[in-house]
């Protein structure tokens, strides 16, 4: 499982990059713009690197629609598994399985950037 930690970090960074509008250049919110009386907590800083995030974005775009929905649900929207499951019309258990599959697929796409589509049948077997 530890071998996929870097993939999870890349997906978290990609999500933060999307929230910044695809070009936050890795900078967090300035302390000069934070109102101390603010009631909404500030999100933890996640470093984003433009080229890494763009490669991760391209990798996610190579995935089937349901897997892209899983990536968006878990990482971009920060939804719990039960809500991601509703989004893709599967059980909560299946949503967790799809998240593991997502990690394998994104890893493959990042390591093999020249492929147009990953060999899904091999990737699906690798997480069962």
Structural domain spans, the chain: 2-126
One digit per residue, pLDDT tens: the chain, 128 residues?
457 899 999 999 999 999 988 654 444 444 444 444 455 445 555 556 888 999 999 999 999 999 999 999 999 999 999 999 999 999 999 999 999 999 999 999 999 989 888 887 766 666 66
Output the pLDDT for position 9: 94
Q: Is 79 exposed, middle or buried (0-12, 13-18, 19+ CB in 10 A)?
A: middle
The pTM score is: 0.76
Output the pLDDT for position 44: 52
CATH of domain 2-126: 1.20.140
């Amino acid at each position: 499982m530890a071998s996929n930690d870097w993939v999870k970090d890349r997906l978290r960074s990609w999500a933060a990059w999307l929230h910044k509008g695809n070009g936050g250049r890795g900078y967090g919110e300035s302390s000069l713009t934070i109102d101390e009386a603010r009631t909404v907590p500030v999100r933890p800083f996640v470093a984003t690197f433009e080229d890494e995030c763009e490669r991760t974005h391209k990798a996610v775009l190579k995935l089937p629609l349901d897997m892209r929905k899983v990536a968006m649900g878990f990482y971009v929207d920060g939804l719990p598994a039960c809500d991601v499951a509703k989004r893709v019309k599967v059980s909560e258990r299946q949503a967790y399985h799809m998240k593991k599959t997502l990690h394998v697929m994104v890893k493959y796409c990042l390591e093999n950037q020249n492929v147009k589509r990953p060999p899904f049948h091999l990737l699906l077997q690798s997480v069962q």
